[in-house]
Amino acid sequence: MNKQEFIKQSWSEAGFDWEQIKELVNESGILQLKEPESKYSLTGYSTAYDHGLIKGLGFNHKCFMISLDSLEGINDNNGWTKIESESDLPDIHDIRMFMPCERGKPRPDYSINSITIKNGFNAGVITHWRPITQIPNPLY
């Protein structure tokens, strides 16, 4: 699944009619309406609002914006880098600094060394990676 497919799925799962809103959703998954009151005519708006699926409502100088809770972190994929080619692999100096993700599930027991690219494709089942950030101890 790519970013656009995830955005479509999130809006559909929230009860919105994707065909009705697809031209109004930007690349970050935010629904943009030129007329704020038109939100009430959207299929699924009331249900999504009542169930707390809508994260934010707001204005900018051009439009009224609606976002979903499920799309939080969409712009950076929650810090994960998807492996689609060799250029997506990390520059590995200390393999303990990276956590791989196998078929969408983090695997702290896996070694990033097991990722190999053959003929332009990830030969293993590692789909993503992210740096492991050490959390500092409390000062007091």
Same domain, 67 and 17: yes
Give a yes or no: residue 88 inside a domain. yes
On whether the CB atoms of residues 115 and 122 are closer than 8 A, the answer is yes
CA distance 14 to 39: 14
**Secondary structure class of 40 (helix, strand, coil):** helix
- Give the SS3 label for residue 82: strand
Q: Which residues contact 107 (CB under 8 A, 6 or more apart)?
A: 99, 100, 101, 126
C-alpha 12: how far from its chain's center? 15
Q: How many domains does the chain have?
A: 2
Q: What is the pLDDT of residue 31?
A: 94
Residue 36 resides in a domain: yes
pLDDT value of position 122: 53
108 within domain boundaries: yes
Q: What residue numbers bound the domain in which 111 lies?
A: 77-131
Question: Measuring CA to CA, which residue among 71, 81, 77, 86 is closest to residue 117?
Answer: 86
Same domain, 9 and 66: yes
Q: Which run of H or E residues covers position 21?
A: helix 18-21
Phi, psi of 80 (to 5 degrees): -90, 140
Q: Can you give the pTM of this predicted structure?
A: 0.72
Does 63 lie in the same domain as 98?
Answer: no
Is 83 part of a structural domain of the chain?
A: yes
Domain-ending residue, one of 71, 96, 120:
71
Q: What is the pLDDT along the chain (140 residues), one digit of tens a residue?
A: 789 999 999 999 999 999 999 999 999 999 999 888 888 889 998 888 888 898 877 887 788 999 999 999 898 888 888 877 777 777 766 555 677 777 777 776 665 555 555 555 555 577 788 887 777 788 78
Asked if the structure places residue 120 within a domain, the reply is yes
State residue 4's pLDDT score. 93
In a domain, residue 139? The reply is: no
